[in-house]
Amino acid sequence: MKPPPSKPLSHFFKHLYPKTTKPHLSHSNPTRISTFLSLNHTNTTTNKTHLFVSSKTTPKHPLNHSLSLFLRSLSSTIPPKDPQSPMEDSKSDSDSIPVVATFTSPFESSPPIDASSSLRKPLSLWPGMYHSPVTNALWEARSSIFERLLDPPIDAPPQVELLVRTPAQSRTSILYNFSTDYILREQYRDPWNKVRIGKLLEDLDALAGTISVKHCADDDSTTRPLLLVTASVDKMVLKKSIRVDTDLKIVGAVTWVGRSSIDIQLEVIQSSRETSNGHPTDDVALTANFTFVARDSKLGKSAPVNRLSPETEQEKMLWEEGEARDKLRKRKKGEQKEFENGVTERLQALLAEGRIFCDMPALANRDSILLQDTRLEYSLICQPQQRNIHGRIFGGFLMHRAFELAYSTAYVFAGLVPRFLEVDHVDFLRPVDVGDFLRFKSCVLYTELENPEQPLINIEVVAHVARPELRTSEVSNTFHFTFTVHPETVKNGLRIRSVVPATEEEARRVLERIDADHSH
């Protein structure tokens, strides 16, 4: 049986913390031994928020430091022997190793909780603890707005008067101190000594969500907050490799708003190696555009958002780009039906080689492979630790898992470690709930071999929410990624194969994606 829908965090916090105690988000817990982020207060002059990613301490040997803290906790947290327990035997207490959380409480002002007490479990209700350290800090950065999301007033009215915000008021930046923080560096390192792109995508989604919350705040604690969800992610191009030994910064702000939608642009910036004058320069490694939509948290209908007033020439240019993207989205919806008219000949051309694979496999082109033979799949049950502050599965978590599967698909297809180039497009079609059975299905949709030095591998990942008890399955998300291989491998004779659809449904997906990629 499918678990009941996840309850909002306010349901649990009402029982755990008295109404008279206002929860203050803090990192001052002395027992914490893992990496955390410190949040500077918002600059009242520029309205910019800065998040600094670092460890509370960077010991000379993290393993010994962690071990000493763990042993210290053992000496003080071993529970007394329960003579009534049916599990007790004649062994001494020293044979029992208690498993406790690293954190005693998510809030500094919470009452002390004994390590052996069952009340220690409220920590598992704090979802940010189970995501990346950046996501954790970003959710905490929502401060008073976040508290309203936890416990919104009953029957609170919606926001009546829309405010006018500037991009500077929502601008937020994150700084990763990779160069000096060993623990943080290890959290983001991949097997090839680069930054884990999947984890970075998770952070980007969390930062975009925080920026959208800042923009939509109405400064009125008596109104109910909006429900803000990720609708889509536009093309995200990796312009340079991101190193894990050099400090990294992500900066983002609202660039365009519609009636109920918000466009947020994020830039990932990392210093280049020293230039001729001996000084490093900051280069944009990646640019991402997220679209969020606002819903009334009580009625579930679309809700208007605060207006945006761009001030600088750069902000006005980004506004115009947002207008163009919005018109393109609307035009694509209208072109869906027109696609059917001129598609027959293109479908037949794509299917011609696929029929040879199906009917005469011995005579098929050895430099090609059927699309269905490139598939991989990954399934999971969505856990409470993967939810966001609204009780739904965090969009960044879905992007992270989809990227990992896409990377594996490209790896198996090429036969060598692939190189990530871009996220082509991500659609969030329906929310994913705690307890859902989620299936990620990937395939190589098509390859582009015109440039022999940089062949392109286009991967599609589709996330399905399956409900076995109802015998139903729905698409919740679609992801498109592009990879290539290192030029040296091509020079050494590596050949990337063409991918051939075998069914009309596969051929249609290929054509739709090719047209979408070339429309940018």
**CA nearest to 257, candidates 163, 138, 160, 331:** 163
- Predicted confidence at residue 276, as pLDDT, reads 53
Give the DSSP H/E element, type plus range, for residue 311.
none
Tens-place pLDDT, residues 343-395: 778 888 888 888 888 888 888 888 899 999 999 999 999 988 778 777 788 88
Please indicate, yes or no, if residue 86 is contained in any of the structural domains: no
Q: What is the mean pLDDT of residues 1-30?
A: 43
Same domain, 312 and 435: no
Please indicate, yes or no, if residue 87 is contained in any of the structural domains: no
Same domain, 367 and 220: no
Q: Which of 333, 355, 386 is the last residue of a domain?
A: 333
Of 75-84, 174-183, 239-248, 313-322, which gets the smallest average pLDDT? 75-84
- 351-360, 423-432, 457-466: which is most confident: 457-466
Alpha-carbon span 47 to 169, nearest angstrom: 5
Alpha-carbon span 362 to 350, nearest angstrom: 19
Of 84-98, 156-170, 299-313, 469-483, which gets the smallest average pLDDT? 84-98
Tens-place pLDDT, residues 48-100: 666 665 554 444 444 444 444 444 444 444 445 444 544 444 444 445 444 43
Q: Which two tokens stand for residue 312?
A: 């600088």
Please indicate, yes or no, if residue 4 is contained in any of the structural domains: no
Tell me the one-letter amino acid at 393: I
**CA nearest to 96, candidates 112, 82, 109:** 82
- Predicted confidence at residue 331, as pLDDT, reads 77
Domain hosting 404: range is 346-517
Please say whether the beta carbons of 134 and 206 come within 8 A. Answer: yes
Alpha-carbon span 476 to 464, nearest angstrom: 6
Please indicate, yes or no, if residue 116 is contained in any of the structural domains: yes
**CA nearest to 205, candidates 244, 233, 243, 169:** 233
Please say whether the beta carbons of 494 and 432 come within 8 A. Answer: no
**CA nearest to 22, candidates 141, 137, 144:** 144
Sequence-distant (6+) residues with CB within 8 A of 210 are 138, 139, 141, 142, 172
- Predicted confidence at residue 35, as pLDDT, reads 33
Phi-psi region of 456 (alpha: psi -120 to 50; beta: other; left: phi over 0): beta
Tens-place pLDDT, residues 495-504: 899 999 999 8
- Positive or negative torsion for Cα 272, 275, 280, 281: negative
Of 20-24, 45-49, 292-296, which gets the smallest average pLDDT? 20-24
Same domain, 371 and 481: yes
- Predicted confidence at residue 98, as pLDDT, reads 47
Please indicate, yes or no, if residue 174 is contained in any of the structural domains: yes
Please indicate, yes or no, if residue 83 is contained in any of the structural domains: no
Tens-place pLDDT, residues 188-234: 999 988 999 999 999 999 899 889 988 988 877 777 778 888 899 98
Distance of CA 439 to the CA centre of its chain: 17
Q: Which two tokens stand for residue 125?
A: 């209700």
Q: Does residue 10 surpass a pLDDT of 60?
A: no
Please say whether the beta carbons of 391 and 6 come within 8 A. Answer: yes
- Predicted confidence at residue 343, as pLDDT, reads 76
Same domain, 445 and 489: yes
Half-sphere exposure of 318 (CA within 13 A, CB side): 25
- Predicted confidence at residue 286, as pLDDT, reads 94
**CA nearest to 389, candidates 4, 2, 13:** 13
- Neighbouring CB atoms inside 10 A of 11's CB total 13
Please say whether the beta carbons of 148 and 389 come within 8 A. Answer: no
Q: Does residue 301 surpass a pLDDT of 80?
A: yes
Q: Which two tokens stand for residue 407?
A: 């990377």
pLDDT-derived band of residue 412, with 50, 70 and 90 as boundaries? Answer: very high
Q: Tally the residues of the chain.
A: 520
Please say whether the beta carbons of 102 and 108 come within 8 A. Answer: no
- Predicted confidence at residue 5, as pLDDT, reads 53
Q: Which two tokens stand for residue 102?
A: 């690293």
Q: Enter the pTM of the model.
A: 0.73
Please indicate, yes or no, if residue 453 is contained in any of the structural domains: yes
Same domain, 288 and 422: no
Of 71-85, 292-306, 368-382, 441-455, which gets the smallest average pLDDT? 71-85
Q: 403: domain CATH number?
A: 3.10.129.10
Please say whether the beta carbons of 349 and 500 come within 8 A. Answer: no
Tell me the one-letter amino acid at 166: T
- Predicted confidence at residue 489, as pLDDT, reads 79
Q: Which two tokens stand for residue 21?
A: 């105690």
Same domain, 279 and 372: no
- Predicted confidence at residue 336, as pLDDT, reads 56
- 72-86, 287-301, 446-460: which is most confident: 446-460
Give the DSSP H/E element, type plus range, for residue 271.
strand 261-271
Q: Which two tokens stand for residue 29?
A: 């817990």
- Predicted confidence at residue 347, as pLDDT, reads 85
pLDDT-derived band of residue 280, with 50, 70 and 90 as boundaries? Answer: low
Structural domains in the chain (count)? 2
Same domain, 284 and 392: no
- Predicted confidence at residue 403, as pLDDT, reads 96
Please indicate, yes or no, if residue 3 is contained in any of the structural domains: no
Token pair 């555009």 in the structure block, residue: 289
Same domain, 106 and 34: yes
Same domain, 309 and 432: no
Q: Which two tokens stand for residue 443?
A: 């395939």
Alpha-carbon span 293 to 149, nearest angstrom: 16
Tens-place pLDDT, residues 112-158: 333 333 333 333 334 444 556 776 666 666 555 555 555 566 577 77
> Hey, which residues does 428 pair with through a beta bridge?
477
First vs last C-alpha separation in the chain: 45
Report residue 164: phi and psi, to 5°.
Answer: -110, 120
Q: Which of 333, 354, 371 is the last residue of a domain?
A: 333
Q: Are strands 49-54 and 172-176 parallel, antiparallel or unpaired?
A: parallel
> Hey, which residues does 54 pair with through a beta bridge?
36
Report residue 236: phi and psi, to 5°.
Answer: -125, 105
- Predicted confidence at residue 423, as pLDDT, reads 92
- Predicted confidence at residue 151, as pLDDT, reads 59
| More confidently predicted of 5 and 102 | 5
Same domain, 181 and 44: yes
Q: Which of 267, 299, 333 is the last residue of a domain?
A: 333
| More confidently predicted of 17 and 143 | 143
Same domain, 366 and 321: no
Report the share of the chain in percent with pLDDT over 70: 67
Same domain, 312 and 392: no
